[in-house]
Amino acid sequence: MNRRRFLATATSTLALSHFCFAQAPSFRGKIKKAVKFGTGPDEEQMKKLKDLGFDGIEGSAPGLKAEAMKKACAKHNLPMHGVVYSKHWHTRLSDANPQVREKSREGLAQAIRESHAVGGTSVLLVPGKVTGANENHQHVWDRSIEQIRQVTPLAQELKIHVLIETVWNGFCYKPEQFRDYIDAIDSPWVQAYYDIGNMQKFAPSHEWLRILGKRTVKLDIKDWGSKNGFCPLGRGDVDWKKVRHELENIEFTGWATREGSDGGIDKTAKLMNELLAL
């Protein structure tokens, strides 16, 4: 190869390399990273999270100390972006007893109010659990939808999304089922809270994201592997490159909250930046 051809080839290769690098998706400024928090302020921990580059936290309700949390969040510029409905496993919307379902709905409504009071935008909800003849898949589907529809006027009034989480509850283990469940509720205020690690067991997470599309409003960040179960980020079977590709395709922007341990919150911050291209 003569010198002119060599230089032309080298220049072309460099340009292609630069193009590929430039096209790699970056979610800095698009995805905000958070961790799960409690019901009251822990200012020492909040300061540490802020120093590590976290954008916010997610609390638990009902029972949230909303006024104190809101003040602490403002002080540390670390907003609480939403809450997890803490009663959804034991007081289920899908329970065979209608009085239990009503109690769960009332708790969900309170969680919506507390999320609004603290400045949040969502309530994470597990809609029920398949437990046998008294609470089978169709029961969870029908009973939970009936109850959720009763709180959507409040959710709309307060501008709080009710986001259904994908979990190991025996319900909607296929992404197409979960998509159709969200659509059956038929409200813009009820969408998906997709947990990246939870559903890796049933189908690759990037496939779930592709099928759910823009129904995914927020993300739980978790990893899972067939050999080591739930594990530190990056050590499971989740293909993070493909996850990023699907997030780019659906033009995802919003909150991503770590649930689990990586051996230290500083390690979590670093891993989230790396795996989510922050």
- Residue 4 placed within a domain: no
Residue 268 in any domain: the answer is yes
- Tell me what pLDDT residue 23 has: 54
pLDDT at 19: 38
Q: Can you tell me the distance from the alpha carbon of 85 to that of 94, in angstroms, rounded to the nearest whole number? A: 15
16 in a structural domain: no
| Range(s) of the domain holding residue 169 | 27-275
At residue 17, the pLDDT reads 42
Local structure of residue 234 (DSSP, 8 states): T
Strand partners, 225: 229
Domain assignment of residue 218, yes or no: yes
**Residues sharing a CB contact under 8 Å with residue 156, sequence separation 6 or more, in sequence order:** 187, 189
pLDDT along the chain (278 residues), means of 10: 47 43 72 97 97 98 97 98 96 97 98 98 98 94 98 98 97 98 98 97 97 98 97 98 97 97 97 97
The answer to whether the beta carbons of residues 175 and 207 sit under 8 Å apart is yes
Check: pTM over 0.95? Answer yes or no: no
Whether residue 17 is contained in a domain is answered as no
Determine the pLDDT at residue 18: 43
**204 inside domain:** yes
Classified as helix, coil or strand, 2 is coil
Q: Report the number of distinct structural domains present in the chain.
A: 1
Q: What is the CATH number of the domain that holds 99?
A: 3.20.20.150
Q: What is the DSSP code string of 108-129?
A: HHHHHHHHHHHT--EEEE----
